[in-house]
Amino acid sequence: MARLFGTDGVRGLANAQLTAELALRLASAAVSVLGAQQNSRDDASGLRPRVVVGRDPRASGELLEAALCAGLAAAGADAIRVGVVPTPAVAFLTADYGADFGVMISASHNPMPDNGIKFFAAGGHKLADHVEDAIEAAMGAPNPRPTGAGVGRLHDAPDAEERYLRHLAASVDGSLEGLTMVVDGANGAASTIGPNAYEAAGATVIAIHCRPDGVNINDGCGSTHLDVLQAAVLEHGADLGLAHDGDADRCLAVDSTGAVVDGDMIMAILALDMHERGELTDDVLVATVMSNLGLHLAMREAGIDVKVTGVGDRYVLEELRKGGYALGGEQSGHIVIPAAGTTGDGVLTGLRLAARVASTGKRLADLAGVVTVLPQELINVPVSDKHAVALAETVRQAVSIAERELDGSGRILLRPSGTEQLVRVMVEAGTHEDARDIAARVAAVVAAV
């Protein structure tokens, strides 16, 4: 039987795979596992656990929020509803309110019909695999239902956005005064908070795709569709543009020329800033195997070591915690700064990036130019058994030949998909032609296994 929790919570087509009934059962099970860990509180709520509940603006979020809150209350927990806020806001507020755990309802950059449920432990930390497994197991176990005064209550938190905005402001040094920015909110969770945060820091903000109606989230906008942002930056003569995804845990940028500044470039800019300030612990940046070789070369030139993890922000977080490092992230724009938050925060990333532009007086294009991106080719190869590919001698030989051909001037990576019977063949080389040619040859060998 497939595991209910994926790499980022429980996701599926809302009201089909991810139903109200499933959400209710998940909430009750989470109380039995997470509420039992820190439910010795002695205040007005007695011994009832408290749970922060937030969502992005998808229409199905209203349905799932109601079901989750019902499940929490039925299990004897109080729900603190913080409304439409970014995922990192729920992580922060879980700690700030002293809650036992937090729940975010969002499918991030996925299309509107999808939705997801993500849990944060006390303090706003992501759950370990064994804790998710315990919640899943508890869904099949009988859970006692309190009655009378033991039934949980629902509370709205009118100061949630204000608390989060204060946190963002305190996490960034310097003013954005003099900067003109275009901000694409993806009609998502940062549609209000994002522009408010940038304006509070002193920037002139031109907001686009910041009018969510429940169905337009990620629809041709945000960090997965940068063309409109690029055009808007050029139209308004802005200094830069920032794009978030539906739950605003990511940030990508566009410079004043309309060129995309991806997560690798953003990490390089922030790493150099923190390096100069003496804030980059052990002069280490944490990145995944998907980061471009150009990032590694730029960091090596600056005396910064790059620790490499598997794909996924949870692996970045694990390495950050293990080494006590100060900065990590992904090419997709998911950047983590542990001193300022327990998870990736797109608005915080945008603030830090814009502050670097303002403090240096340099164009974003010049700051991003420290990274020379090597041409990259990615081919998704359908296979019958993705795990058998890595063991195939023909594949090993093809990879070995490719590595000799690249001779240190590029790299090749084979990675099985986490959710599909696919193997991703990624090649970086000195030219687009070489990258395409080598990737095609290796992909053909993979397909033949």
Q: What is the pLDDT of residue 364?
A: 98
Kindly report, residue by residue over 253-268, the tens digit of the pLDDT: 999 999 999 999 999 9
Q: What is the pLDDT of residue 144?
A: 80
Q: How far apart are CA 125 and CA 117, in angstroms?
A: 15
In the predicted structure, residue 192 carries a pLDDT above the cut 80: yes
In the predicted structure, residue 403 carries a pLDDT above the cut 60: yes
Percent of the chain with pLDDT over 70: 97
Residue 417 falls in the annotated catalytic set? no
pLDDT band at 426 (very low <50, low <70, confident <90, very high): very high
Q: What is the pLDDT of residue 420?
A: 77
Residue 247 is labelled as binding a ligand: yes
Q: What integer best gives the mean pLDDT of the chain? A: 94
Q: What is the pLDDT of residue 408?
A: 81
Mean pLDDT of 405-433: 88
In the predicted structure, residue 36 carries a pLDDT above the cut 80: no
Q: What is the pLDDT of residue 8?
A: 81
Q: What is the pLDDT of residue 38?
A: 55
Q: What is the pLDDT of residue 43?
A: 45
Kindly report, residue by residue over 153-173, the tens digit of the pLDDT: 999 999 999 999 999 999 999
Q: What is the pLDDT of residue 386?
A: 87
The span from the first CA to the last CA of the chain, in angstroms, equals: 26
pLDDT band at 421 (very low <50, low <70, confident <90, very high): confident
**Lowest pLDDT segment from 20-34, 43-57, 178-192:** 43-57
Residue 175 is labelled as binding a ligand: no
Domains, the chain: 10-158 (3.40.120.10), 171-368 (3.40.120.10), 376-447 (3.30.310.50)
In the predicted structure, residue 296 carries a pLDDT above the cut 60: yes
Q: What is the pLDDT of residue 271?
A: 98
pTM, two decimal places: 0.90
pLDDT band at 391 (very low <50, low <70, confident <90, very high): confident
Mean pLDDT of 353-376: 96
Residue 245 is labelled as binding a ligand: yes
Kindly report, residue by residue over 106-117, the tens digit of the pLDDT: 999 999 999 999
In the predicted structure, residue 145 carries a pLDDT above the cut 70: yes
Percent of the chain with pLDDT over 90: 86
Mean pLDDT of 357-370: 97
Mean pLDDT of 204-232: 97
Q: Give the residue with greater pLDDT, 54 vs 145.
A: 54
Residue 255 is labelled as binding a ligand: no
| Candidate list 28, 60, 108, 256, residue with the active-site label | 108
Q: What is the pLDDT of residue 143?
A: 77
Q: Which two tokens stand for residue 417?
A: 């998909």
In the predicted structure, residue 41 carries a pLDDT above the cut 60: no
**Lowest pLDDT segment from 388-392, 400-404, 434-438:** 388-392
Q: What is the pLDDT of residue 310?
A: 87
Q: What is the pLDDT of residue 419?
A: 66
